[in-house]
Amino acid sequence: MLKIEIEKVLHGSNGSMTLSVNTTVNKGDFVVIMGESGAGKSTLLRCLAGLEKAYGNIVVEGEVWQDGSKTLSIQKRNVGFVFQDYALFDNMSVKENLLFVNTNKSLAEELLEIMEIRGLSERNVQFLSGGQKQRVALARALMRRPKLLLMDEPLSALDPRMRHKLSQKIKELHKRFDMTTLMVSHDVTEAKNLASKVWFVESGGVKEYDKVYLEEIY
């Protein structure tokens, strides 16, 4: 179980506000996070990963990642993060990007096979298409066998065909690796397809809904 009790001051174009999140996520849940730009969706993910500071408590499967202002280092948090802009190492090949995270070659080969990019393993990532880069980014995040997978609009830059294909891959991998997943998205279809629950971030808080809610309003 993931327990989140944090507060974070946000500074946007409309001034300052406090993002306050107090909720729990069951192990194996797939949470899609929605809301307007600037509401704090990406910031919430970054706080969970330890990339930004917040105040409060974060506990993941009994392990304390944050207690008040004391935080566990990023390196010690078993988390995978898929960034919107891929954040790959452009001076490395596809396989080198994966092995930089974890030297388990058999796991790297398995993930390359699952993501259908094994034939690109020796290619420098700067010469890949957007869809190929996103699959590398997802495979790299899974190299840590994370307890928590965080994804910040991972499909937004892809064409509809690749977006649908990679969405199915994400759904498959979430189940296969038995992860708890939180994904920021603005796409209702993605939320319907992937989510076990949906969070709407607005007015500094999080409103939680069952997936059925989306079916009713859209």
Q: Whose CA is closest to 135, among 97, 92, 104, 106?
A: 97
Asked if residues 146 and 82 have their Cβ atoms less than 8 Å apart, the reply is no
pLDDT tens for each residue of the chain, 218 residues long: 999 999 999 987 677 889 999 999 999 999 999 999 889 999 999 999 999 999 999 999 999 999 988 999 988 999 999 998 888 999 999 999 999 999 999 999 999 999 999 999 999 999 999 889 999 999 999 999 999 999 999 888 788 888 888 899 899 999 999 999 999 999 888 888 899 999 999 988 999 987 666 666 55
Give me the residue label for tokens 């969070």.
199
Q: At what angle do helices 105-114 and 94-101 cross, to 10 degrees?
A: 130
CA angle 3, 8, 13 (to 5 degrees): 140
Domain boundaries in the chain? 91-144
Q: CA angle, 108 as apex, 73 and 31 as ends, to 5°?
A: 55
pTM of the shown model: 0.91
